[in-house]
Structure 1
Amino acid sequence: MPSALPDGEPVPEDGSLPAHALTGAASRPLGFYLHVPYCATRCGYCDFNTYTAGELRGSDGTLTSQDTYAETLAEEVRLARKVLGDDPRAVQTVFVGGGTPTLLPAADLGRMLGVIREEFGLAADAEISTEANPESVGPAYLEELRATGFNRISFGMQSARQHVLKVLDRAHTPGRPEACVAEARAAGFAQVNLDLIYGTPGESDDDWRTTLDAALGAGPDHISAYALIVEEGTRLARQIRRGEVPMTDDDVHADRYLQAEEAMTAAGLEWYEVSNWANDRAARCRHNELYWTGADWWGAGPGAHSHVGGVRWWNVKHPAAYARALAEGRSPGAGRELLAAEDRRVERIMLELRLVDGCPLGLLAPAGARAAQRALADGLLRPEAYERGSAALTLRGRLLADAVVRDLVD
């Protein structure tokens, strides 16, 4: 959940949407993203909308918002029910992210899920996910969380090397994420993901290979691996600017990605989005697929983004301002934009091109179609997919995905 919010037009106080946003809604999947903005410490590379206890401590020394957060967020879910009216859709996916959602009691996460169940209903096969830091959970917590209805969990492993974790300001010790996978399986979680980061300053090829071996050896059915992006304003960016740690270049990122692809494939995981691998189709993150395919989702929580029928909006960032708006019966929305047909076409290309099935060639404007022909000739697009009418990336194309996207959206 990025910390910066875009500009946009005001959101109505009641949160109402234009009538066209709900036209045809019954044919589109609906998901919920629930943002928990609390962290025990701030990681040096993170620019998400998160807050430590010290940053939220009031003048009287008490911690604001966190103890009552579940009920505050439930109020936004109830607002969503009013805004969406008699929309008949059961919720297909729920994803709780942060921050560190598992800093809240498992019962609070269950309470947040419960209000979605009460207001909208959950599909029989709904995917219910939460992120978790390895040091924030144990067997009893995971068992309680599973009992509330969660069936998928994503652990932030990042690296198996202590010196890499130190650069990232991660609190867990090597080996703990792998133990969490086993504990989650024992608690009954059907799907378990590990999040990895490559390209951390000071990380070697051997460090990354060790991380991949440890992650795959733990037996998750899904792994996400992201190149480290150094965001302005973070502690890591300041350290690099002062020369305290070296910057990792794009060639190293490419080498790390190729290592990941080789290791994942050998272990039986297949890529389905540039940064995501899964054992099979059932193990893919269905909630993220909502984002990548332009479906509908309601993002509840400070700074959360939503999209329904071509209308995108985002909430105020600070937990206190968020809670105050809901307590006063107002939408916590800070701004919104109505996406024109051209905006949606461009977004489809940008997102769907990253998927294994690619994007339909019919989405491309003439200049983009010519660029696709060049990309095909350059070995960046798969010929068999092209013949079926899709622009789908080869392995080399995945390494240059951003550049290919720029060419095809012209």
Structure 2
Amino acid sequence: MLRDFGGGAFGIYVHVPFCATRCGYCDFNTYTAGELGTSASPESWLDALRGELATAVEQFAALPTATPDVATIFVGGGTPSLLGGDGLAAVLDAVRANFTLAPDAEVTTESNPESTSPEFFERIRAAGFTRVSLGMQSAAPHVLKVLDRTHTPGRAVAAAGEARAAGFEHVNLDLIYGTPGERDGDLDASLDAVLAAGVDHVSAYSLIVEDGTALARRVRRGELPAPDDDVLAARYERIDARLSAAGLTWYEVSNWAASDSARCRHNLGYWDGGDWLGAGPGAHSHVGGVRWWNVKHPARYADHVARGGLPAAGWENLTPGEQHTERVMLTVRLRTGLPLNELAHTETATVDRIIADGLATRTDDRLILTNRGRLLADGVVRDLLS
């Protein structure tokens, strides 16, 4: 089924499917202990992860090109920090046992501030992690309550300080804006806290009400209003202005970094069309234009691994047209912009209108979104591909 590596950066994503509680807005493939019962555990998951990584190595060995060194690793979830420092060290050991890491590999883990400590950060830094991403979401208690977040408002900033004290140069804080009940002052307080934390990377995402979530049910029942598009746009502009003034520059529509080295190289691999192995329940992979995704439930995932072969629930070979569509969708969101020579003739006819509408500029044969264009990035993509 696999063709060959595509020649870009190669990364590994590890999905940790465990959470202490389920946030009302989240539709990720995660499970609480009560939802899993005795069907799966962190120990059985780690054993299955080791098996999947070993199988992937065997599959990749049959490809024409040798498996590249791993440029980036990203441990996400779920709540990876629930594994503790030793558990995350074991995850990294499992990757190292099967793949060769590049000397300058970026190794990131997501963490919930409440399941971290100075000792936790010291342990994972010693294990080889180079970057930490902390879920802050908001500094306002009532906003966190609507989101069903369990951490106290000041804990994320404290955790960021602990990570930096443990030797992490690169620390990210995640924000969510546009939550029902959030006021301008609440967002300002969150931004004040982020900037006081001294982190070198910030991700900020507008709240999306996903079908099937507790938040969606509350909105449907009329208990909460749906996020307002005009409010979301104003909040985004507010975030960008504050972060830019503090020296954090946008490099992707939802991401700001203090320097080029502070940018998340793993995510850039996705956006630049690189190859990656997604290991763990529900994880997605992409190698040379072939995509596959794993079975979701941790118990079924472990069972598939035990029976041999990759634990894939499905595969697809992306056509050249599909690869082009994805390239446009992702690259146009980057500050470096979309190379115009990648557009078909019918698509280039749309460029002048997009520029005339003030949504983008043409610089060095690239189409780069303006500030207004970032607010309407999805519409720019639709115009280009229509």
TM-score grouping bracket, smaller chain normalisation: over 0.9
Aligned residue in 1 for 2:23: 43
- Structure 2 CA distance for aligned equivalents of residues 232 and 169 of structure 1: 16
SS of 2:105 mapped into structure 1 = strand
Instruction: Tell me which of 66, 70, 81 is aligned to 2:57.
Output: 81
- Structure 2 CA distance for aligned equivalents of residues 166 and 88 of structure 1: 45
Aligned residue in 2 for 1:151: 130
Aligned residue in 2 for 1:107: 86
Residue by residue, what CA displacement relative to the aligned partner does 1:92-128 show, whole Å, maximum 9, x if unpaired? Answer: 0000000000111322211121122222111111000
Instruction: Tell me which of 138, 162, 185 is aligned to 1:183.
Output: 162
C-alpha contact (below 8 Å) 2:60/2:67 kept by paired residues: no
Aligned residue in 1 for 2:45: 69
- Structure 2 CA distance for aligned equivalents of residues 367 and 186 of structure 1: 53
Residue by residue, what CA displacement relative to the aligned partner does 1:157-205 show, whole Å, maximum 9, x if unpaired? Answer: 0000000000000000111100011100111112100000000001011
Aligned residue in 1 for 2:358: 379
The number of residues matched between the two structures is 383
Aligned residue in 1 for 2:35: 55
Aligned residue in 2 for 1:409: 385
Within the alignment, does 1:133 sit opposite 2:108 as a pair? Answer: no
Residue by residue, what CA displacement relative to the aligned partner does 1:313-350 show, whole Å, maximum 9, x if unpaired? Answer: 00000000000011122321000100111111111000
Within the alignment, does 1:21 sit opposite 2:4 as a pair? Answer: yes
SS of 1:396 mapped into structure 2 = helix
SS of 1:92 mapped into structure 2 = strand
Residue by residue, what CA displacement relative to the aligned partner does 1:195-249 show, whole Å, maximum 9, x if unpaired? Answer: 0000000101111111111111111000000000000110001101111111121
What is the root-mean-square deviation of aligned Cα atoms in Å?
1.1
C-alpha contact (below 8 Å) 2:56/2:310 kept by paired residues: no
- Structure 2 CA distance for aligned equivalents of residues 378 and 88 of structure 1: 45
Q: CA deviation at 1:88?
A: 4.0
- Structure 1 CA distance for aligned equivalents of residues 74 and 227 of structure 2: 31
C-alpha contact (below 8 Å) 1:194/1:220 kept by paired residues: yes
Q: Which runs of 5+ in 1 are unaligned?
A: 1-16
Instruction: Tell me which of 207, 231, 234 is aligned to 2:213.
Output: 234
C-alpha contact (below 8 Å) 1:160/1:175 kept by paired residues: yes
Aligned residue in 2 for 1:116: 95
Within the alignment, does 1:275 sit opposite 2:254 as a pair? Answer: yes
- Please report the TM-score for the alignment, with normalisation by the length of structure 1: 0.91
C-alpha contact (below 8 Å) 1:157/1:195 kept by paired residues: yes
- Please report the TM-score for the alignment, with normalisation by the length of structure 2: 0.97
Instruction: Tell me which of 387, 398, 406 is aligned to 2:374.
Output: 398
- Structure 1 CA distance for aligned equivalents of residues 190 and 264 of structure 2: 22
Q: Which runs of 5+ in 2 are unaligned?
A: none
- Structure 1 CA distance for aligned equivalents of residues 173 and 84 of structure 2: 22
SS of 1:78 mapped into structure 2 = helix
C-alpha contact (below 8 Å) 1:364/1:409 kept by paired residues: no
Q: Where in structure 2 are the equivalents of 1:256-405 lying within 5 Å?
A: 256-383=235-362, 385=363, 388-405=364-381
SS of 2:175 mapped into structure 1 = strand
C-alpha contact (below 8 Å) 2:249/2:256 kept by paired residues: yes
Q: CA deviation at 1:72?
A: 1.6
SS of 1:154 mapped into structure 2 = strand
- Structure 1 CA distance for aligned equivalents of residues 162 and 221 of structure 2: 41
Instruction: Tell me which of 163, 173, 187 is aligned to 2:152.
Output: 173
C-alpha contact (below 8 Å) 1:365/1:409 kept by paired residues: no
Aligned residue in 2 for 1:98: 77
Residue by residue, what CA displacement relative to the aligned partner does 1:348-395 show, whole Å, maximum 9, x if unpaired? Answer: 000000000111112222332122110111111124x1xx11111000
- Structure 2 CA distance for aligned equivalents of residues 28 and 235 of structure 1: 39
Identity of aligned residues (%): 57
Aligned residue in 2 for 1:197: 176
